[in-house]
Amino acid sequence: MKYWQPKYEKMHRSDIRALQLKRLKNVVKNVYDHVPFYRQGFGNVRPQDITDLEDIARLPTTKKTDLRENYPFGMFATSMRDVVRLHASSGTSGKSTVVGYTAGDIGTWSDLMARNFTMVGLGPDDVFQNAVNYGLFTGGLGIHFGIERIGAIAVPSGTGNTKHQLEMMIDFGVTALHCTPSYALYLTETAREHDLVDLLSLRIGCFGAEPWSANTRRELEETLGINAYDSYGLSEMFGPGVAFECQEKDGLHIWDDHFLVEVLDRDGEVVAPGERGELVLTSLTKEAMPLIRYRTGDITMIREDECPCGRTHTILEKVVGRADDMLIVRGINVFPSQIEGVLMNIPEVGDQFQVVIDRKRHKLDEMHIRVELTDRGFTGELKDLENLRCNVEEKLRTVLNLRTVVELVERGTIPRTAGKARRIIDLRKEW
Ligand code: DLL
């Protein structure tokens, strides 16, 4: 398997820790000297008190609300003259969060992307279509610069006009695709509808920006004849590129030379590898806006086993969802990804669904799931439809441990999006 930066990717664990400590000391001093939010937040702790990696627990965590309260540039550690780009994520409430990059940051980020792309087998012979929004979303330019860094041909198709996206793929001989997994499913569905699948020359798909299941991977790989890889990242830590699957497809490598990884429980205590918790990241190499112990809100776990690919960095299990996406319905925790996992295993229904949760006054929560039918395996008899509906409800009940009401709807009923899918409508918040 080819490496982009073998010196770093195969580093001995003890050397990684030494490098992390050196970088951590620098970053802590940098934010202490230049970001009032951190100088105040550190309390009595001084940069020189950080003498080993575990000392990080003495520093406070950073939350998304801290970024909002310091909107727009209050978290920057460099002068604005050194900032060459801004990105922002809109979020669901309040002000967006802004991230800044120096020229050095753009270089580091592009190299990180190149490392990931090389890892999955991409190179200068590839034609790589990037079908995401090229605006303030980091998945546009972030991925684009990585494509150019490995010398592949970038096709910055952006979003929209799905049929045209497919035509471009065919005409330009596109071999690699990047988009959200939900949009990839929609592209696949459209390709099937127009009988275009056989004309595609895709071999690799990189999908991320939202959770996706093993079944979605199977569906995309089988239909498109590709290898599909999970890509994880967040704007606050550059954007995409933070962690990526290698060709083993057994967890994502999270790059320890750039990020210090912790997984914390609800009380903020570190959990052991193999235990689930919230991913908390410290940026070790960012210049314009380094963050200390940033609470990503993402629920996952880390593993320390060796990967057969030879890379020594921490392995991150697929992110199952965000702490704030986790629904608590009648006291039971439900992740949208669990629902997706069940539906993808029932051939008669598709991968498109929408969950509406409501609570009638003084009553229990009700979870209503609208699920689209596919053309496969459904004979069209009404009684069959009712059987299928009950079957879906039963399968969901077994996995979620919860009774739900399933409504089967015609294909195409649930709105498609080219970005992150909106799968949950929680009406309880209105009470
Ligand atoms: O989504 C960056 C990105 C772009 C990643 C393209 C991968 C590909 P934000 O818009 O700031 O940045 O959203 C970050 O998206 O905290 C996760 O909740 C979620 N997320 C990102 N990648 C994955 C993934 C980009 N592979 C937030 N699996 C993160 C699950 C993901 N969730």
- Distance from the CA of 241 to the center of ligand 1, in angstroms? 10
Do 250 and 350 fall within a single domain? no
Gap between the Cα atoms of 23 and 31, Å rounded: 12
329: confidence class by pLDDT, cuts 50, 70, 90 = confident
Residue nearest to atom 30 of ligand 1 (CA): 211
Whether ligand 1 lies within 6 angstroms of the CB of 340 is answered as no
Do 309 and 330 fall within a single domain? no
Whether ligand 1 lies within 6 angstroms of the CB of 420 is answered as no
> By CB neighbour count within 10 A (0-12 exposed, 13-18 middle, 19+ buried), where does 195 fall?
exposed
pLDDT digits (tens, 9 = 90+) for 271-285: 999 999 999 999 999
Q: What is the mean pLDDT of the chain?
A: 93
Which pLDDT belongs to residue 431?
A: 41
Whether ligand 1 lies within 6 angstroms of the CB of 100 is answered as no
376: confidence class by pLDDT, cuts 50, 70, 90 = low
Give the position, in ligand 1's atom list, of the atom nearest the Cα of 211. 30
Which pLDDT belongs to residue 416?
A: 85
Q: Provide DSSP, 262-306.
A: EEE-TTSPBPPTTS-EEEEEEESS-SSS--SSEEEEEEE-EE-SP
Do 407 and 264 fall within a single domain? no
Do 171 and 307 fall within a single domain? yes
- Distance from the CA of 377 to the center of ligand 1, in angstroms? 34
> Are 280 and 298 spatial neighbours (Cβ–Cβ below 8 Å)?
no
Whether ligand 1 lies within 6 angstroms of the CB of 130 is answered as no
- State the pTM of this model: 0.88
* CATH number of the domain to which 365 belongs: 3.30.300.30
Do 316 and 340 fall within a single domain? no
Which pLDDT belongs to residue 110?
A: 98
Whether 373 has a pLDDT exceeding 60, the answer reads yes
Tell me which residue of 264, 404, 274, 389 sits closest to 332, measured CA to CA.
404
Whether ligand 1 lies within 6 angstroms of the CB of 66 is answered as no
Tell me which residue of 377, 369, 376 sits closest to 396, measured CA to CA.
369
Q: Provide DSSP, 299-362.
A: EE-EE-SPPTT---SPEEPPP-EETTT-EEETTEEE-HHHHHHHHTT-TTEEEEEEEEEEE-TT
* CATH number of the domain to which 161 belongs: 3.40.50.12780
Whether ligand 1 lies within 6 angstroms of the CB of 116 is answered as no
Last residue of a domain, one of 266, 287, 322: 322
The pair of three-digit structure tokens given for residue 351, joined into one six-digit string? 């991968």
Do 298 and 375 fall within a single domain? no
The pair of three-digit structure tokens given for residue 295, joined into one six-digit string? 């609470």
Helix axis angle, 214-224 relative to 336-343, nearest 10°?
50
- Distance from the CA of 394 to the center of ligand 1, in angstroms? 31
- Distance from the CA of 289 to the center of ligand 1, in angstroms? 18
Whether ligand 1 lies within 6 angstroms of the CB of 338 is answered as no
Whether ligand 1 lies within 6 angstroms of the CB of 126 is answered as no
Last residue of a domain, one of 322, 346, 363: 322
CA atoms within 13 A on the CB side of 40: 6
The domain in which residue 68 lies consists of: 1-322
* Domains: count for the chain: 2
- Cα Rg of the chain, angstroms: 22
Whether ligand 1 lies within 6 angstroms of the CB of 321 is answered as no
Do 199 and 267 fall within a single domain? yes
Site to probe by mutation for ligand 1, drawn from 234, 244, 280, 337 as the one with most ligand atoms within 8 Å of Cβ, is 234
Which amino acid is present at 136? L
pLDDT digits (tens, 9 = 90+) for 335-346: 888 888 889 888
Do 303 and 345 fall within a single domain? no
Tell me which residue of 376, 428, 431, 420 sits closest to 182, measured CA to CA.
420
Whether 92 has a pLDDT exceeding 60, the answer reads no
Q: How large is the average pLDDT for residues 259-269? A: 95
- Distance from the CA of 335 to the center of ligand 1, in angstroms? 16
Residue nearest to atom 27 of ligand 1 (CA): 234
- Distance from the CA of 81 to the center of ligand 1, in angstroms? 29
Whether ligand 1 lies within 6 angstroms of the CB of 139 is answered as yes
The pair of three-digit structure tokens given for residue 147, joined into one six-digit string? 């494509």
- Report the SS3 class of residue 385: helix
SS3 content of the chain, % helix, strand, coil (to 5): 35, 25, 40
Do 138 and 8 fall within a single domain? yes
- Distance from the CA of 294 to the center of ligand 1, in angstroms? 14
Last residue of a domain, one of 287, 322, 357: 322
Do 350 and 233 fall within a single domain? no
Whether 94 has a pLDDT exceeding 70, the answer reads no
Do 296 and 401 fall within a single domain? no
pLDDT digits (tens, 9 = 90+) for 410-422: 888 998 888 888 8
Q: How large is the average pLDDT for residues 109-129? A: 98
Whether ligand 1 lies within 6 angstroms of the CB of 234 is answered as yes
First to last CA, the chain: 55
The pair of three-digit structure tokens given for residue 39, joined into one six-digit string? 């100088």
pLDDT digits (tens, 9 = 90+) for 33-69: 999 999 999 999 999 999 999 999 999 999 999 999 9
Do 187 and 312 fall within a single domain? yes
